[in-house]
Chains A and B, each alone.
Chain A
Amino acid sequence: MRKVMLFTLSIALAGSAAAQGTIKIGAITSITGRFAEFGKMQLAGFKVGVAEVNRKGGIGGRKIELLIEDNASDVNKGLAAAERLVNAGVPLVINEYSSSLVKAQAQYLARQKVPNLVITSSGDDITKPGSDYIFRLNQPATEYARVILNIFRDKKFKTMAVIAGTGAFEKSVADAAQVIAKEYGISIVEDQRYDKGLTDFRPVLNRIKAKNPDGLLMVSYAEDSVALMRQAREVGVKPRLFAGGAAGFALPEFVKDSGSAAESVITATAWIPQLRYPGVQKLNVELVKALGGHEPSYHAAQAYAGVIVAAEAIRRAGNTDREKVKEALNSVNMQTAFGPIQFKDYDGFRNQNPLVMVAQQVQGGKFVPIYPKSVVPKAIKFER
């Protein structure tokens, strides 16, 4: 009975939203809290995406608008944010950054039968096994590990060490690295996981220094990436390559705050302005403008693509009915400045966009692309 009432209520709300003229699309991000840095990037991406859709005439002449909810970087507040959007009758929710948060939000939205477009969060388990209602346009965590290990394999690395947080994203990447390393014949001499809040990595780094691995893969968020690299330099770990599994390592702040400690660190990243997709340069210019002159990270480009794809799905659906939008997402096949978008089922993933990752390296205080060939790579610099 309650379910029926909720259902009628949501239809009524959807109806009233339609009557107002603009199409309201839900979006959740971390405007406050420890992921606020990423939230800032995504808000910029949303802004650019909405402006572009509306400039091109919106959807069937109707402008779009994002209902943005803050999850305050907190699981419970994230669920409350998702609930508010469900009750607001949005046809679709664009879902954001931290895998630990998005997992819970996505499961709730799937239960409520609201299509969920995941744009940044990359824990494998979000689309593996996934749900009919969860679609992901960004690369899953496995790909973050794979691009780094591809480089390690190409450079004939024999040994590597892993330091990763225990959050959903870090765990996904580190676990994937275990599997891929085995496949590639690279032995993992040390695999250390840490809980968030740890700020002294020296003992672990001492351990790794004693093992002297060829490569060191670090998977951590913004604050820890700076601490890790500073302390790695301090204790004198010298692998042939320091590698970051994106997240904190791919942020412009990482280079700024780590200073010389960041030099020659490579990182996986989902998107860079040097990619050769149509509209990349233009998008970069607009994102820089939206960020008040700051360099965008890939999270901003993903948020932009999320809006473009959401608008395309609603356009294809012909209205804002959630079931129709879900069907439409299945048929999306388009080229964006973030990359090609088409949701597929493969390798146990469901509704997952198969997209390659890029690797970049800090050279002279700036990120330069080093992998794959399609980005016109620069030569990789080694520590030793």
Chain B
Amino acid sequence: MDQVAVTAFFQTLVQGLLTGGLYALIGTGLSLIFGVMKVINFAHGDFLAIGMFITLALFRTLNIDPYLSLLVAAPVGFALGYAIQRFVLTRLGDRLGEGSMLATLGLGLIISNTLLLGFGAQPQSINVPYAIKTFSFAGVQVSIPLLVAGLGTLVVIAGLNLLLYRTELGRAIRATAQNPLGAELQGVRTANIQAIVFGMGVAFAAIAGVLLMPLLYAFPTVGENYTTKAFIVTVLGGLGNLPGAVVGGLVLGVIESLGAFYVSNNYRDAYGLIAFLLVLLLRPEGLFGKTVKRV
């Protein structure tokens, strides 16, 4: 390989890892919710869309910097998730998770159609001066907003780890995940914990949406694509396995980028799905899953 090809490879790899970081963030939210409640959240991508549109709306109306919108999008996402778990999902008297599955599907439709009503169907992007800012490292161009997104993911996931393993709330969450009845008997208010977890999962999706906004354009059904990605990430890593979701995200990002670079751009979305199928066939518990019920 000559110098140009080597640089191009590394550039693609770095971009794949950073994009994968975002996938990891989205997948972590989905995985967290599944790990604690065994609910598969089909509206996950739509919560990401909410994050994008909050950013868009704040930028358009008050000219607020996209990254500052995190201060709005994350709490709004949390509150929304909390309310949905508290007032919708727990009331379904769920058998086998069918109720929650259908409910989240329905919620996704409500969200995307509400966004359609409010913002119109045309794709919209925002133009911030740093959208195309890059820095060069050994000939490899790295996009600043993409790097911020990757670092943001790291911070959020590190924070989640601290929360889960260093705080009382984290213990309660882990207890609820392992054995809800047992936790309840020990005085953990599991209904509240579950709502908090759902809120956190939705907040992660909304944060990912905010981090994406300087890079991408928003449209009401943008979530569909990301719901699929979140599933792939979660399955790659093992359902409910948080470190697995992180690695799954990175793996997906890299597979997609390198596949598009070396093979063909046309099958970009297919590479992830192929990996997904292979993992389902060969290691149904996920690349890193020992058991399915870990948080």
Contact = CB atoms under 8 A, between A and B. Distances in A.
B265 A198 contact: yes
B38 interface: no
B260 interface: yes
Interface string A199-228: 111111011011010000000001100110
B122 A222 contact: yes
Given A192-B265, A202-B257, A36 B122 contact: yes
B106 interface: no
Given A34-B219, A204-B265, A230-B131, A210 B4 contact: yes
A209 B8 contact: yes
A198 to B, nearest CB: 6
B143 A227 contact: no
B120 A207 contact: no
Given A203-B12, A203-B265, A259 B129 contact: yes
Contacts of A222: 122-123
A193 B266 contact: yes
A98 interface: no
A15 interface: no
Interface in B92-140: 120-123, 125-127, 129, 131-132, 134, 136
Contact of A233 (B7, B132, B266): B132
B260 A203 contact: yes
Interface string A179-202: 000000000000011110111111
Nearest to B141: A236
Most A-side CB within 10 Å, residue of B16, B266, B269: B266
B178 interface: no
Contacts of A166: 266
A12 to B, nearest CB: 37
B131 A259 contact: yes
Given A192-B265, A194-B265, A223-B217, A37 B127 contact: no
Contacts of A230: 131-132, 215
A258 interface: yes
A36 B127 CA distance: 20
Contacts of B215: 230
A204 B123 CA distance: 22
Interface in B6-31: 7-8, 11-12, 15-16, 19
Nearest to A234: B143
B293 interface: no
Interface in A252-307: 256-261
Contacts of B256: 200, 203
B14 to A, nearest CB: 10
Contact of B127 (A210, A231, A258): A258
B261 interface: yes
A235 interface: yes
Interface string B259-274: 1110001101100000
Given A203-B15, A210-B8, A234 B141 contact: yes
Given A192-B265, A198-B265, A198-B268, A236 B134 contact: yes
B192 interface: no
Contacts of A209: 8, 11
A161 to B, nearest CB: 12
B127 A207 contact: no
A32 interface: yes
Given A199-B216, A200-B19, A236-B136, 7 more contacts: A36-B120, A200-B15, A206-B8, A206-B261, A231-B143, A234-B141, A260-B129
Interface of A: 32-34, 36-37, 73, 166, 192-195, 197-204, 206-207, 209-210, 212, 222-223, 226-227, 230-231, 233-236, 256-261
14 contacts: A33-B121, A194-B266, A194-B268, A199-B216, A200-B260, A202-B11, A202-B257, A203-B258, A203-B268, A204-B260, A210-B8, A234-B143, A234-B146, A256-B127
**What 4 A-B pairs have minimum CB-CB distances, sorted nearest first?**
A223-B123, A203-B260, A203-B261, A233-B132
Interface of B: 4-5, 7-8, 11-12, 15-16, 19, 120-123, 125-127, 129, 131-132, 134, 136, 141, 143, 146, 215-217, 219, 225, 256-261, 265-266, 268-269
